[in-house]
């Protein structure tokens, strides 16, 4: 055990022991945390908290990207949005690109479809659409002008009459109202 003895100054008065200089900045269990890192962490926590509360608990696992308000694009301000379209941006058929309207016409008349994969099962592996049994959703290609392949645009239909449109290859979906 170490003992501290008071030392005496030349004038005979006791001298106070030296203390370590105070360190600037906060002290934590991890040592000193630079204020820039602390500010970044606080910002990250705030953004995550805002994102979690914006998505809510009733979103069925859909991402915040698809959780935009749907009332601005609803066909009639007084019309009720169907349950399957809740939480999605909505479009009317008239707001779709012409190629998408033509694809809907082909779907209604049951073909013939220009692409072999049209009408195939859509797996919803992204989890952005409401969860349903396997085989519930079907996908159809919406031709993209200037593309040599199928492009990124699709219409996905559900067995219950749902219609979803994506123009970014399943990154986001919009509910199409008739």
The catalytic residue positions are 139, 169
What Cα–Cα distance (Å) separates residue 112 from each residue in 103, 125, 133, 174? 10, 27, 26, 25
Whether the Cβ atoms of residue 85 and residue 164 lie closer than 8 Å to each other: no
In sequence order, the β-bridge partners of residue 169 are: none
Strands 137-141 and 14-15: unpaired
Cα–Cα distance, 7 to 17 (Å, whole number): 8
Cα–Cα distance, 63 to 84 (Å, whole number): 15
Whether the Cβ atoms of residue 84 and residue 175 lie closer than 8 Å to each other: yes
What Cα–Cα distance (Å) separates residue 128 from each residue in 23, 61, 152, 153? 51, 7, 16, 16
Omega within 30 of 0 (cis) for the link into 79: no
Cα–Cα distance, 26 to 149 (Å, whole number): 58
């Amino acid at each position: 055990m170490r003992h501290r003895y008071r030392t005496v100054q030349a004038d005979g008065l006791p001298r106070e022991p030296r203390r370590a200089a105070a360190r600037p900045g906060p002290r934590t269990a991890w040592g000193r945390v630079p204020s820039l890192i602390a500010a970044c962490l606080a910002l990250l926590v705030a953004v995550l908290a805002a994102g979690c509360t914006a998505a809510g608990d009733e979103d069925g696992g859909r991402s915040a990207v698809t959780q935009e308000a749907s009332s601005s694009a609803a066909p009639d301000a007084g019309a009720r949005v169907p349950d399957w379209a809740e939480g999605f941006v909505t479009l009317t058929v008239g707001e779709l690109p012409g190629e998408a309207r033509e694809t809907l016409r082909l779907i209604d008349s049951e073909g013939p479809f220009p692409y072999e994969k049209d009408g195939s099962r859509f797996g919803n592996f992204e989890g952005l659409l409401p969860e349903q049994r396997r085989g519930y959703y079907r996908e159809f290609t919406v031709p993209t002008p200037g593309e040599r392949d199928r492009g990124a645009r699709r219409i996905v239909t559900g067995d219950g009459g749902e219609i979803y449109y994506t123009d970014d290859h399943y990154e986001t979906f919009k509910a199409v109202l008739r």
